[in-house]
Amino acid sequence: MRNILVTGAFGQIGSELIPALQQRYGAEHVIVSDIRMAPLQSRVATERNFEHVDCTQPQQIIDAVRRHDIDTIYHLAALLSAVAEERPHLAWSINMGGLYNVLEAARQCRCRVFFPSSIGAFGPSTPRDHTPQVTIQRPTTMYGVTKASGELLCDYYAARFGLDVRGLRLPGLISYVAPPGGGTTDYAVEIFYQALRYKHYRCFLGPATRLDMMYMPDATRAMIELMEAAGAALKYRNAYNVTAMSISPEDLAAEIRKHIPGFVIDYQVDPVRQSIADSWPRSLDDSAARTDWGFAPRFDLASMTADMLARLGETVTGPEGRRAPA
């Protein structure tokens, strides 16, 4: 094994994927990169393992790959769905331009690539329940357009150049380490902070909006297991459907209420994010991932909620500096 480069490392996924990669392969084998400078107190970036990389600049990627003898790139740098809808030109440049530059660097330097696609790669004409691995993909958001096109580009590089590229269609990710930013599924993280602080959350999606979700420890394990799977077993090089739970805001609120009695949720629907959510699947069929490389999530709604509240409860406090009383 040589070394791993992670792009967009200070985002929601990178903040948990990097420690998992460092633990598995050794900290000296994981190079952390982001367009932002490393925070002074960073848990994961040091002077030796950090590279400032703007993925829209192809030479910066190639230089980092050569300097650190990289053989695997986890390409996480991207704008999420809601912010991509506000800034579609920037989203195309970062999400598509960045992916193209990473695939080109990988082709030239013979690296393997991990690409995070999303439930956003589907659209309103896709079957919304038990969404098949191979089905109609006509997304109506810029984020979705970049994810569906990104999947095709990954397929192309695999078929045309024999590049070892692998991907996941990730659902909404729930984590206690770093907040997401600008996503449609962000409510499923925000709700925990607000429940602990104020016993109240105002949700920007309607109560019955059902979407796939996954707890971050399952998501980081899925990425690592996919990259470690035998290449010959992988039928799909664009991205595999993965999921752990299909839930709505009212389901999550009811589960949180089991731990924080009196927790109240109300709704102030944001039409932009609601229309994005309404164009996405309600539940994915993940049988191809289970069959081809044996993935199975470990956290369901109940175990994820209990773990999130326990972890966040150590640091997040109520208005008087203590956890909101039960």
* Nearest to ligand AKB of 45, 77 (CB atom): 77
Distance CA 209, CA 214 (A): 16
Least distance in angstroms from the C-beta of 49 to ligand AKB: 27
80 binds ligand AKB (CB under 6 A): yes
Number of residues that bind ligand AKB (CB under 6 A): 13
Residue type, 97: G
Q: State yes or no: is 201 an active-site residue.
A: no
**String marking each residue 184-223 x if it binds ligand AKB according to CB under 6 A:** xx--------------------------------------
Part in contact with ligand AKB (CB under 6 A); list of ranges 90-98, 182-190, 200-208, 248-256: 182-190
**Residues facing residue 246 across a β-bridge:** 212
Listed in order, strand segments (DSSP E) in 38-183 are 50-52, 70-75, 112-118, 165-170, 172-174
Dihedral sign, Cα of residue 151, residue 214, residue 45, residue 83: positive
Site for ligand AKB (CB under 6 A): which residue of 15, 22, 49, 81? 81
Q: What is the CA radius of gyration of the chain?
A: 19
* Nearest to ligand AKB of 212, 255 (CB atom): 212
Distance CA 123, CA 139 (A): 4
**String marking each residue 109-128 x if it binds ligand AKB according to CB under 6 A:** ---------xxx--------
User: Which of 181, 117, 171 is closest to 144 using CA atoms?
Assistant: 117
**String marking each residue 132-151 x if it binds ligand AKB according to CB under 6 A:** -----------x--------
* Nearest to ligand AKB of 149, 185 (CB atom): 185
SS3 (DSSP) at 318: coil
8 binds ligand AKB (CB under 6 A): no
User: Which of 121, 145, 154, 147 is closest to 135 using CA atoms?
Assistant: 121
Phi-psi region of 26 (alpha: psi -120 to 50; beta: other; left: phi over 0): left
Residue type, 287: S
Q: Where do contacts with ligand AKB occur on this chain (CB under 6 A)?
A: 80-81, 118-120, 143, 170, 172-173, 180, 183-185
